[in-house]
Amino acid sequence: MTKNIVISGETMTGKTMVALALVGKLRKEGHKVGYFKPVGSKSFEYSSEDIDVDEDAAIMKEVLGLEVDVSCVCPIIRTKSSYDELLRVGHDKLLKKINECYSKGASGMDYMVIESAKAPWNLLHVDLSAPQIAKELSASVIVLVNFPDVAAIDAVFLQRDLFTQHGISEIGVILNMVAPMLKKTVEKKIKPFLEENCMKFLGVIYQRRELFSPTVRDILRALEGQMIAGNDKLDLLIDRFLVGSMAPENALKWFRRAKDKAVITSGDRSDICLAALETDTNLLILTGGMGPDIRTLSRAKELGIPIMMTAHDTYTTGQLVDRLVGMVSPENKEKIAIVQKIVGEAIDLTGFDS
């Protein structure tokens, strides 16, 4: 009988990263493991005129070598074209499609790792939220929560209550993006406190650049950009993104506070560009399809700082790069191996879903 594990968390909590690591860990132990994402969102990069595709599903199908068609890796695609797009289809038809595709993916598998939608409460309006799907598939649940400080403890309990209210009793917790300074607090206080409150503590993923920081190559792909300078710097890591839209004298103060950053600004803001280049900047992203002036280009080449140009506006660019934190791509084999090793070693499933 296939054992099902739902990975639940809000957006940008690394669900796909943990799913990738968990599949790798279980496969390494000799199990046959599949991946399933019942509900996703339309990706314009991966979709075509004939089919709507979820980005995570497309990536995981390729990375994990899944044989099932991508339309069954993630059968329900939400386009958000209207509030009632799924209501018009109806709960019964949606659930039937989910069960049919799950059965195809789970055939012959020991485990199915199931990634929830952007938040565990998504699709409550059609009775297909993460807790409701977990109950339908008789799944255990891993709650994934970003834990930058101890106040995030409430986010763990919010998810616990949501799942227990729907009859889910097997709940594990993984804390993500935990500051190393919290290690003693997590081990000595947070872990026993969670286990005293009916949750199995499964691991901690501490903040590490190689896990969460995208490379210039990742950003180039996401922005469909063009390298103006620095083609030999595509593997540089970017720790922070700053938008340069202020006066140059204020920008310089702001830029000096961040290291290994990318600065996003319009191509016609040479004052901002030059200010960014005089600080610890790993990448200059010019928006609106406007390239740098000769002073900016010359200074960047002199300092060895790459410049990228994208047709997207500054706001859209900021939105796109925010999604890259902790993301993996099929082309980045090194990042995949790092994720599977570091995250896999951080997860301990002993006594969970046994």
Domain over 214-322 is classified CATH 3.30.1330.10: no
Distance CA 97, CA 115 (A): 16
Long-range (24+ apart) CB contacts under 8 A made by 52-55 are: 52/77, 52/79, 53/77
pLDDT of residue 158: 95
Secondary structure class of 202 (helix, strand, coil) = strand
pLDDT of residue 129: 96
pLDDT of residue 175: 96
- Domain map (residue ranges) of the chain: 3-211+329-346, 214-322
Distance CA 75, CA 98 (A): 6
* Residues with pLDDT less than 70, the chain: 248, 326, 330-331, 353-354
Q: What are the residues facing 285 on neighbouring strands? A: 264, 308
Q: How many CB atoms lie within 10 A of CB 327?
A: 20
Q: Is the pTM of this model over 0.75?
A: yes
Phi-psi region of 284 (alpha: psi -120 to 50; beta: other; left: phi over 0): beta
Class of domain 3-211+329-346 (CATH, top level) = alpha beta
pLDDT of residue 328: 73
Listed in order, strand segments (DSSP E) in the chain are 3-8, 33-36, 39-41, 76-78, 111-115, 140-146, 171-178, 200-206, 226-229, 240-243, 261-266, 281-287, 307-309
Closest listed residue to residue 113, CA positions, set 137, 91, 97:
137
Q: Cα 164 from chain centroid?
A: 25
The DSSP result for 150-183, as a single string, is: GGGHHHHHHHHHHHHTTT---EEEEEEEE-GGGH
pLDDT of residue 353: 66
Phi-psi region of 163 (alpha: psi -120 to 50; beta: other; left: phi over 0): alpha
Q: Cα 111 from chain centroid?
A: 22
